[in-house]
C-alpha cells in the first residue's frame, strides 16, 4: 500500500498522449484487469489542447 495509510493512492507514473477515445476503453480494461494487483488507472483530458494524461496509481 502507498505511503500514508489506508485509502491513499500513490502515483507511480504519468504520461500525456494525443487525445483518443480509445484511451478511455484501454483505461477501463486496465482497471478491470489489474484491480486485484492493487493498481488503478486514471485518465484526464485537457479541454484546451485535447491531450489526455494517463496516471497509474498503487492503491
Could you say which DSSP state residue 25 is in?
A: H
Per-residue pLDDT at 3 exceeds 80: no
> Contact, 44 vs 55, CB < 8 A?
yes
Per-residue pLDDT at 26 exceeds 70: yes
Cα–Cα distance list, 23 to 2, 4, 7, 42 (Å): 25, 30, 26, 10
Could you say which DSSP state residue 10 is in?
A: E
Distance from C-alpha of 21 to C-alpha of 10, rounded to nearest angstrom: 26
Q: Any idea where the domains of the chain sit in the sequence?
A: 10-58
Determine if the pTM surpasses 0.85: no
pLDDT, tens digit (0-9, with 9 covering 90-100), for 5-25: 567 899 999 999 998 899 999
Amino acid at each position: 500500500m502507498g505511503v500514508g495509510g489506508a485509502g491513499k493512492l500513490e502515483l507511480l507514473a504519468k504520461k500525456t498522449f494525443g487525445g483518443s477515445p480509445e484511451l478511455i476503453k484501454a483505461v477501463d480494461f486496465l482497471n478491470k484487469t489489474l484491480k486485484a494487483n492493487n493498481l488503478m488507472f486514471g485518465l484526464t483530458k485537457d479541454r484546451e489542447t485535447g491531450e489526455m494524461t494517463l496516471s497509474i496509481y498503487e492503491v
